[in-house]
């Protein structure tokens, strides 16, 4: 007599905008798989920006912990979040908790799951700067999660080797690429002529013969003097090159918004916007000449659109882009940023070599690989 086994359940835990972008293709694969019960829990770590992505990707969470409060520090978030996530785990009792990246939400999910002896899958595992102050606290979170997880899905071979050197069992590490490339390529396919025209009408300054610099900058370690230097560099570049326009979707963090608007808002060719939905941001990235960023995800996305990336950080855990030439690490001081951007703007050969370099972060099939590996491991 055959006794049907109960279906295993998986719980996805998301807290920030990038986590939604990077996990949505994998969530959809599990939701479409009749062999699993699939649950989505959001912590609300980045409330407004998270909600924007949930709405855009039509992703309805089963649980919303609403952890974010004004003026809350990391310790308050972590202590409150651990209890809230623990209650969800008790109710769902998942066989697998899936987390992505390096945020406080990721560490909370891995720690709570580990304490309850539940399996934990870490997407985008193994990235390292080996400087626990940069990025902070993300580098700390990643290292801790690596010693809690049972499934490690790395975006590159370098990340895989990092884990092996740290003593992680090679048999539970799979190098699959980065899921953000999956989302990016799918999004590009959905951009129709109609949507392109609609976007163009919102940015009338985009026209033939001009070069667009797309900027994002929001990391904690850049706050203060370093961020002021970034803004001063943008002003100097805009003055030095009459043929460039700069667009900067400004993060909602008050420490970013206040300084950015105070220093940049009056320049006639620097355009500050609120955070954009993902489709519009991808379209702008495709229309840009080059990208200046401190974002990890954009370092992975822009090369698939043949856009050079100048990384405004002193270290990066995505060294593969530097190594193959899709990215340059330019620091956060004004002089270094200006010099590096000028080199790329003034050298067609350097620009071409960066634009043509192959994206080292995957081919758009990472989510399918992860889904199949988890299936094979859990449905034995």
Cβ atoms within 10 Å, residue 62: 14
Active site residue 218: yes
pLDDT at 202 over 90: no
pLDDT bucket at 335, cuts 50 / 70 / 90: very high
Domain residue spans of the chain:
9-177+364-378, 188-356
Residue 248 φ/ψ, nearest 5 degrees = -135, 100
- Per CATH, domain 188-356 is 3.40.190.10: no
The active-site residue out of 17, 46, 47, 102 is 102
Active site residue 55: no
Active site residue 220: yes
The active-site residue out of 19, 138, 245, 301 is 138
Continuous H helices in the chain: 17-31, 47-56, 74-92, 104-115, 138-146, 157-165, 179-190, 193-202, 225-240, 254-264, 278-287, 296-301, 319-324, 334-346, 348-356, 366-378
Total residue count of the chain as it appears in this document = 380
pLDDT at 1 over 90: no
**For 77-92, how does the pLDDT look when each residue is reduced to its tens digit (9 = 90+)?**
999 999 999 999 999 9
Tell me which residue of 142, 118, 116 sits closest to 129, measured CA to CA.
142
Q: Taking all residues of the chain, what is their mean pLDDT, rounded to a whole number?
A: 94
> Whole-prediction pTM value?
0.91
Q: Do domains 9-177+364-378 and 188-356 have the same CATH topology?
A: yes
The active-site residue out of 122, 218, 313, 371 is 218
Q: Cis ω on the peptide bond leading into residue 29 (within 30° of 0)?
A: no
pLDDT at 353 over 90: yes
pLDDT at 194 over 80: no
CATH of domain 9-177+364-378: 3.40.50.2000
**For 22-45, how does the pLDDT look when each residue is reduced to its tens digit (9 = 90+)?**
999 999 999 999 999 999 999 998
Active site residue 19: no
The active-site residue out of 251, 313, 318, 371 is 251
């Amino acid at each position: 007599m055959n006794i049907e086994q109960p279906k295993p359940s998986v719980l996805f835990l998301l807290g920030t905008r990038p986590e939604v972008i990077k996990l949505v293709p994998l969530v959809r694969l599990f939701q479409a798989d009749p062999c699993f019960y699939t649950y989505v829990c959001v912590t609300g770590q980045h409330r407004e920006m998270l909600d924007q992505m949930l709405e855009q990707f039509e992703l309805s969470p089963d649980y919303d912990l609403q952890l974010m409060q004004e003026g809350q520090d990391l310790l308050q978030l972590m202590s409150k979040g651990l209890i809230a996530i623990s209650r969800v785990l008790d109710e769902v009792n998942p066989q697998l908790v899936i987390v992505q990246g390096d945020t406080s939400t990721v560490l909370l999910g891995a720690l709570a799951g580990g304490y309850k002896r539940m399996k934990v899958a870490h997407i985008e595992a193994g990235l390292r700067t080996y400087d626990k102050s940069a990025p902070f606290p993300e580098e700390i979170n990643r290292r801790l999660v690596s010693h809690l997880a049972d499934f490690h899905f790395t975006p590159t071979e370098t990340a895989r080797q990092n884990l092996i050197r740290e003593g992680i069992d090679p048999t539970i590490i799979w190098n699959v690429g980065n899921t953000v490339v999956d989302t990016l390529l799918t999004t590009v396919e959905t951009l129709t002529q109609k949507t392109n025209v609609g976007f163009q009408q919102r940015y009338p300054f985009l026209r033939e013969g001009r070069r667009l610099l797309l900027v994002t900058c929001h990391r904690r370690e850049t706050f203060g003097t370093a961020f002021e230097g970034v803004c001063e560099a943008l002003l100097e570049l805009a003055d030095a090159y009459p043929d460039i326009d700069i667009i900067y979707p400004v993060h909602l963090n008050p420490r970013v918004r206040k300084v950015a608007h105070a220093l940049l808002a009056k320049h006639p060719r620097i355009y500050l916007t609120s955070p954009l939905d993902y489709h519009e941001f991808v379209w702008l990235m495709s229309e840009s000449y080059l990208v200046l960023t401190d974002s990890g995800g954009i370092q992975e996305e822009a090369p698939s659109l043949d856009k050079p990336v100048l990384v405004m950080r002193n270290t990066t855990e995505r060294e593969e882009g530097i190594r193959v030439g899709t990215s340059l690490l330019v620091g956060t001081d004004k002089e270094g940023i200006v010099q590096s951007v000028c080199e790329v703007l003034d050298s067609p050969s350097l620009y071409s070599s960066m634009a043509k370099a192959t994206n080292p972060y995957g081919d758009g099939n990472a989510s399918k690989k992860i889904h199949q590996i988890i299936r094979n491991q859990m449905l034995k």
